[in-house]
Amino acid sequence: MLDSKLVRTQLQDVAARLATRGYQLDVARIEALEAQRKTVQTRTEQLQAERNARSKSIGQAKQRGEDIAPLLADVDRMGSELESGKQELDRIQSELDQLMLSIPNLPHESVPVGADEDENIEVRRWGTPKTFDFAVQDHVALGEQHGWLDFETAAKLSGARFALMRGPIARLHRALAQFMIDLHTRDHGYEEAYTPYLVQAPALQGTGQLPKFEEDLFKISREGEADFYLIPTAEVSLTNIVAGEILDAKQLPLKFVAHTPCFRSEAGASGRDTRGMIRQHQFDKVEMVQIVEPSKSFEALEELTGNAEKVLQLLQLPYRVLSLCTGDMGFGATKTYDLEVWVPSQDKYREISSCSNCGDFQARRMQARYRNPETGKPELVHTLNGSGLAVGRTLVAVLENYQQADGSVVVPEVLKPYMGGIDIIG
């Protein structure tokens, strides 16, 4: 969430910066609510001062033997007005808070201005897409030929947008996740975490999924108890480790990594990528999260993005890095790099990782702070997250980029230790 003081004092500037994201800030409503809040607050403070003065005069009048009934009635009346004023202030503040929760993060000045994905800026490419001398098959055909990738049975079990993996492909999927975790913990300095897959609403509000994106979540209602939500990404559980905490500066940076299933209703993706594993309700992801001092967050973004790139480089998968424009960034990000891997059957690059610096946007929602060693005062940390990588999409890329003419798939060199001696699938 944005700094409310910044919104109040620089409302027009904030609105202009948000407009580059395609978000129209309701300036008139915020101004009206702020005017109401100031009026009610001023009146409430005046009433409180008057009530205090009258209360004091009651004792003095009593000592003089005067009738204090009118004074008592006046104090009671002021008390009722004060209570009414406090309720009105709470109502106004609640509406302001809800407005603030719905406002996306401000784009960093280095983010290219643009309306949509067509205006993202390519930063770099790595590797050269392979030229095949046979008809390329997509991952669905490659996986289904031996019954190792089964969408029909998955649909029987759960409906559309699910996959059942068996045999060598299930093992390859697991090998990819283990390889990623090992790389990030061994070479990149992340601490592995195993997190709950079910979280409550405050955790999702902390990272920005609630209240705005509730329709994209799978919710489990419980009578008499707080609702559960299935995590859309381990970003939620990992980032909220520091919710409500005041960290020692010596603890930073904190770097967490977790392999979890992710659950998304894909409410806004109707009809998109209906074939195969690109867009599903349940998928696995290795997620990286960093909690850092504010001055280090953009340096950390470059590092985190590089950590995700290393996975693709070791797998020898061609990819490109995009700097997302203002109109294509996620709700909580102030700057984002997307990694897109080459998918031969589609003859194009497809997103496989999104690496974002959220600044203090999530930290303010979570009240996640550290004690600044120079001032001794608590200050908001900065949070970052990125896929390192989406396991299912990486499986898609491996199957398609490593396919052979007979439909078999060569196991990438770095995965062979995880495959028990299997060199070729199929």
Concatenated DSSP letters for 206-263?
HHT-TTTTGGGS-EE--TTSPPEEE-SSHHHHHHGGGTT-EEEGGGPSEEEEEEEEEE
Q: What is the residue range of 88's domain?
A: 26-102
Confirm whether 362 is domain-assigned.
Answer: yes
Confirm whether 122 is domain-assigned.
Answer: yes
Q: Quick one: 98 and 139 in the same domain?
A: no
What pLDDT, on the 0 to 100 scale, is given for residue 51? 76
Q: Quick one: 165 and 137 in the same domain?
A: yes
Confirm whether 6 is domain-assigned.
Answer: no
Nearest to 103 by CA among 26, 182, 183, 217: 26
Confirm whether 15 is domain-assigned.
Answer: no
- Spot the catalytic one: 237, 297, 345, 354: 354
State pLDDT tens for residues 358-397.
Answer: 999 999 999 999 999 999 999 999 999 999 999 999 999 9
Q: Quick one: 136 and 93 in the same domain?
A: no
Q: Which of 39-48, 293-302, 358-367 is predicted least confidently?
A: 39-48
Q: Which of 46-60, 134-148, 308-322 is predicted least confidently?
A: 46-60
Residue written as token pair 């990030």: 184
Q: In the annotation, is 354 catalytic? A: yes
Q: In the annotation, is 124 catalytic? A: no
What pLDDT, on the 0 to 100 scale, is given for residue 75? 75
Going by pLDDT thresholds of 50, 70 and 90, the confidence category of residue 52 is confident
Residue numbering of the annotated binding site for L-serine: 233-235, 287, 387
What pLDDT, on the 0 to 100 scale, is given for residue 54? 72
What is the C-alpha radius of gyration for the chain, rounded to an integer number of angstroms?
Answer: 27
List CB contacts of 181: < 8 A, sequence separation 6 or more.
Answer: 192, 257, 259, 286
- 275 is written with which tokens? 């074939």
Beta bridge partners of 149: 165
- Spot the catalytic one: 264, 364, 365, 369: 264
Look up the CATH number of the domain holding residue 418: 3.30.930.10
On the 0-12 / 13-18 / 19+ scale of CB atoms within 10 A, 98 is exposed
Q: Quick one: 84 and 202 in the same domain?
A: no
- Spot the catalytic one: 81, 95, 119, 351: 351
Q: What is the mean pLDDT of residues 317-323?
A: 98
Confirm whether 301 is domain-assigned.
Answer: yes
Q: Quick one: 177 and 250 in the same domain?
A: yes
Name the average pLDDT for the chain: 95
Q: Quick one: 325 and 365 in the same domain?
A: yes
Query: Given a cut of 70, is residue 271 above it in pLDDT?
Result: no
Nearest to 287 by CA among 184, 162, 397, 398: 184
What pLDDT, on the 0 to 100 scale, is given for residue 345? 97
pTM greater than 0.85? yes
Q: Quick one: 240 and 329 in the same domain?
A: yes
Going by pLDDT thresholds of 50, 70 and 90, the confidence category of residue 269 is low
Q: What is the mean pLDDT of residues 10-28?
A: 98
Q: Quick one: 174 and 32 in the same domain?
A: no
What pLDDT, on the 0 to 100 scale, is given for residue 61? 66
State pLDDT tens for residues 187-215.
Answer: 999 999 999 999 999 999 999 999 999 99
Look up the CATH number of the domain holding residue 82: 1.10.287.40
Q: Given 102, 131, 153, which residue is the final one in a domain?
A: 102
Helix, strand, coil tally for the chain in percent (to 5): 45, 20, 35
Going by pLDDT thresholds of 50, 70 and 90, the confidence category of residue 330 is very high
193 against 52, higher pLDDT: 193
Q: Given 71, 102, 133, which residue is the final one in a domain?
A: 102
What pLDDT, on the 0 to 100 scale, is given for residue 9? 96
Q: Quick one: 390 and 244 in the same domain?
A: yes
- Say if residues 138 and 151 touch (Cβ distance below 8 Å): no
Confirm whether 419 is domain-assigned.
Answer: yes
Q: Count of domains in the chain?
A: 2
Q: Quick one: 194 and 328 in the same domain?
A: yes
Residue numbering of the annotated binding site for ATP: 264-266, 351-354
What pLDDT, on the 0 to 100 scale, is given for residue 268? 61
Q: Quick one: 223 and 249 in the same domain?
A: yes
Q: Please state, in angstroms and rounded to a whole number, the distance separating the CA atoms of residues 325 and 112.
A: 5
Confirm whether 20 is domain-assigned.
Answer: no
End-to-end CA distance of the chain: 50
Q: Quick one: 281 and 412 in the same domain?
A: yes
Nearest to 139 by CA among 345, 363, 355, 370: 345
What pLDDT, on the 0 to 100 scale, is given for residue 53? 77
Residue numbering of the annotated binding site: 233-235, 264-266, 287, 351-354, 387
Q: Given 102, 125, 158, which residue is the final one in a domain?
A: 102
Q: What is the mean pLDDT of residues 107-122?
A: 98
Q: Please state, in angstroms and rounded to a whole number, the distance separating the CA atoms of residues 109 and 17.
A: 9
Percent of the chain residues past pLDDT 70, beyond the cut: 97
**Residue type at 79 in one-letter notation:** G
Q: In the annotation, is 351 catalytic? A: yes
Confirm whether 13 is domain-assigned.
Answer: no
Phi, psi of 272 (to 5 degrees): -95, 130
- Say if residues 371 and 377 touch (Cβ distance below 8 Å): yes
What pLDDT, on the 0 to 100 scale, is given for residue 279? 92
State pLDDT tens for residues 63-109.
Answer: 666 677 777 777 788 788 889 899 999 999 999 999 999 999 999 99
Q: What is the mean pLDDT of residues 295-303?
A: 98
- Say if residues 409 and 424 touch (Cβ distance below 8 Å): yes
- Spot the catalytic one: 303, 345, 393, 400: 393
Residue written as token pair 């990438």: 412
What pLDDT, on the 0 to 100 scale, is given for residue 47? 85
State pLDDT tens for residues 212-266.
Answer: 999 999 999 999 999 999 999 999 999 999 999 999 999 999 999 999 999 999 8
